[in-house]
């Protein structure tokens, strides 16, 4: 009896070990180039690894002491497709552009009738209240 339980435990452990995720291989660095800050504040860097990931950045000193940067990075998404992201980072924040990012609907879009009705009702109430308070 004990040997059957022991054997079952061993089998379960071996199945779990075989089903365990294998570690991902470490990507190899293909290219790396860093230009440190110059007197005028200009800087740049880029790197690329063998799995398709790459990053490029250039920047300069901002007018108010911050940094102005622009660049691109590429990465693999969950479906294994290469995604390209362009960005600008400055006093207005980080501004990415990519087909990966959702796009807001075109504006102005038509205002639904129930919203127009609510606005008209609120205007009518405001007019009625102002007339009552002036009497």
Cα 14 to Cα 62: distance, rounded to the nearest angstrom: 59
Cβ neighbors of 98 (< 8 A, separation 6 or more) are: 83, 84, 85, 86
Helix (H, G, I), strand (E, B) or coil at 19: helix
pLDDT above 90 covers a percentage of the chain that reads 21
* pLDDT, tens digit, 9 for 90 and up, residues 28-66: 888 888 777 777 778 888 888 888 888 898 888 877 777
Instruction: Read off the pTM.
Output: 0.55
- Token digits for 28? 């190899």
Of the candidates 133, 56, 119, 68, the residue with the CA atom closest to the CA atom of residue 94: 68
Cα 43 to Cα 35: distance, rounded to the nearest angstrom: 6
* pLDDT, tens digit, 9 for 90 and up, residues 64-94: 777 788 999 998 888 888 899 999 988 888 8
């Amino acid at each position: 009896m004990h040997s059957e339980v022991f054997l079952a435990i061993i089998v379960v452990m071996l199945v779990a070990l075989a089903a365990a995720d294998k570690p991902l291989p470490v990507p190899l660095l293909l290219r790396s180039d860093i230009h440190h800050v110059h007197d005028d504040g200009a800087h740049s860097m880029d790197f690329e690894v063998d799995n398709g990931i790459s990053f490029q950045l250039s920047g300069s000193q901002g007018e108010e002491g911050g940094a102005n940067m622009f660049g691109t990075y590429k990465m693999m998404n969950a479906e294994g497709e290469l995604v390209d992201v362009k960005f600008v980072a400055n006093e207005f924040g980080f501004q990415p552009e990519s087909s990966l990012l959702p796009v807001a609907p075109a504006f102005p879009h038509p205002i639904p009738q129930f919203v127009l009705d609510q606005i008209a009702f609120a205007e009518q109430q405001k007019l009625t209240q102002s007339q009552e308070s002036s009497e």
